[in-house]
Structure 1
Amino acid sequence: MDTIELQQTLPEVFAGRDGIVSDVWHRQMAFQKGKMYLIEAASGTGKSSLCSFIYGYRTDYQGIITFDGENVRKLTVKQWTDIRKRSLGMLFQELRLFGELTAWENVQLKNGLTGFCRKQQVKDWFEQLGIADKWDVKAARMSYGQQQRVAFVRMLCQPADFFFLDEPVSHLDDGNGQIMARILKEEAARQGAGVIVTSIGKHLPLEYDRVLSL
């Protein structure tokens, strides 16, 4: 996948609003593979909705979203499965970890499907992110910031044309944010992937090609 394009896309709940000012909503714009984008947003402007639209979890929007020119509304369940497995890595704001599973078990759920990363690579990322001691700890017993780092590693355990991260550093200190940014930059460069990050204030410190206002 080389291009994600939005054509006059707008959440249906916004349809009755006048004077929407946005670089994304109700415009024609595209995300290109290999580029880095920051989407700055205020609460209630549809940031998490955008993530769900692009990932195919929700379809309650007007307009068109395309992957390399193909309308995503026409994708089959199998096509969506392949895209989520091979092309689109997503870190949701709410993380979607299983609290009863350990950090490693949560990561292995993804890596077992893709077979993308060696176990030692995952351990190295845990070490760099300061959560090596949480390997066998259940997610429910971890802080939110620790869970964010686990979910981040899980996202990396797949091939990707785009990485989409929704407020990935909201509960991290600057040091861990810098480490996450470095790992993401390295992995995106290795795969030639695009990076799309959302923020309502604190954002992942990367050299963005474009900063958009939602």
Structure 2
Amino acid sequence: MEKIELFNTLPAVFAGREDDNSQVWLRDIVFEKGKHYLISAESGTGKSSLCAYVYGYRIDYSGTIAFDGRDIKQLTVPEWCRVRQSSIAYLPQELRLFPELTAMENIQLKNRLTHHKTEKEIVDYFDQLGIPDKVDSPLGKLSIGQQQRVAIIRTLCQPADFILLDEPVSHLDEANNAIVARIVSDEASRQGAGIISTSVGNNVKIQVDKEFKL
């Protein structure tokens, strides 16, 4: 996948807001593979909705979202499976982890499908993110900040043309923010992937090519 395009897109709940000052909604914009984007927003402006639209979880919008020129509402279930396994790596704001599983088990649920990282590489991420002692801990016993770091590791365990991050550092301090920025940027560079990150305030410290105000 080389580009993700939005054409006059607007969440259904915002219908009638033709005077919207957003740089995303009701605009024609392009996200290109290999480039880094920040979508900064206030709460309630639709950033998580945008991510859900791009990932195919929701379709309650007007206008068009396209992958390489193809309307994503035309994608079949098998095509969506391929997109989610090899084209778009997604970190949802709500993390979607399983509290009854260990941190490593949560990550291996994805990695066993993609075979993208070795166990040594995954353990190294735990070390870099300051949670080496949490590998075999039940996810439900970790703090929200620790859970967010586990979810970030899981996100990187797949091939991707775009890495889609919804408030990836909302529960992290400055030091871990910088570490996340480095490991995400390194992975994107290795794969030639684009990065699309949303933020309400605590921006991931990734150098961006373009910022959009939602």
- Under a length normalisation based on structure 2, what TM-score does the superposition of the two structures give? 0.99
Could you tell me how far 1:18 is from its partner in structure 2? 4.3
Letter in 2 for 1:207: Q
Segments of 4+ moved more than 6 angstroms: none
Aligned match of 1:7: 7
Tell me the CA shift for residue 103 of structure 1: 0.2
Match of 1:211 in 2: 211
* Counterpart residue number, 2:32: 32
Distance 1:25 1:193 in 2: 24
- Counterpart residue type for residue 86 of structure 1: S
Question: Whole-Å Cα distance in 1 between the matches of residues 70 and 138 of structure 2?
Answer: 40
In structure 2, the residue matched to 1:100 is: 100
Structure 1 length normalisation: TM-score?
Answer: 0.99
What's the offset of the Cα at 1:131? Answer: 1.1
Question: Are 1:20 and 2:20 counterparts?
Answer: yes
Task: Provide the C-alpha distance between the structure 1 equivalents of 2:140 and 2:72, rounded to a whole number of angstroms.
Answer: 34
**Which residue in the other structure is 1:133 paired with?**
133
Instruction: State the SS of the aligned residue for 1:38.
Output: strand
CA shift, 1:139, in A, is 1.0
Q: How far apart, CA to CA, are the structure 2 residues paired with 1:30 and 1:23?
A: 12
Give the distance between the partners of 1:18 and 1:56, measured in 2 at CA: 24
Report the equivalent of 1:182: 182
Task: In structure 1, list runs of 5 or more residues that go unmatched.
Answer: none
SS of the residue 1:189 aligns to = helix
Instruction: Provide the residue aligned with 2:149 in structure 1.
Output: 149
Find the residue that maps to 1:171 and give its secondary structure: coil
Letter in 1 for 2:43: S
Q: 1:119 aligns to what?
A: 119
Deviation by residue 1:113-151 (Cα, 9 ceiling, x = unmatched): 111110100000110001111111111110000000000
Deviation at residue 183 of structure 1 after TM alignment: 0.4
The residue number in structure 2 matching 1:90 is: 90
Paired positions, count: 214
CA positional deviation for 1:17: 2.5
Deviation at 1:24, TM superposition (A): 0.6
1: CA distance, partners of 2:18 / 2:123:
50
Give the Cα separation in 2 of the matches to 1:162 and 1:132: 27
Alpha-carbon distance in structure 1 between the residues aligned to 2:131 and 2:78: 35
Cα deviations across residues 59-109 of structure 1 (Å, max 9, x unaligned)? 000000000001100000000000000000000000000010100000000
Distance 1:130 1:118 in 2: 19
Measure the CA separation in 2 of the matches of 1:117 and 1:157. Answer: 6
**Which residue number corresponds to residue 196 of structure 1?**
196
Work out whether 1:57 is the aligned partner of 2:57.
Answer: yes
**Distance (whole Å) between structure 2 residues aligned to residue 99 and residue 20 of structure 1:** 39
The amino acid that maps onto 2:180 is: M
Q: Percent identity?
A: 57
State the SS of the aligned residue for 2:4. strand
* 3-state SS, counterpart of residue 13 of structure 1: helix
TM-superposition CA deviations, 1:21-64 (whole Å, max 9, x none): 11110000010000000000000000100000000000000000
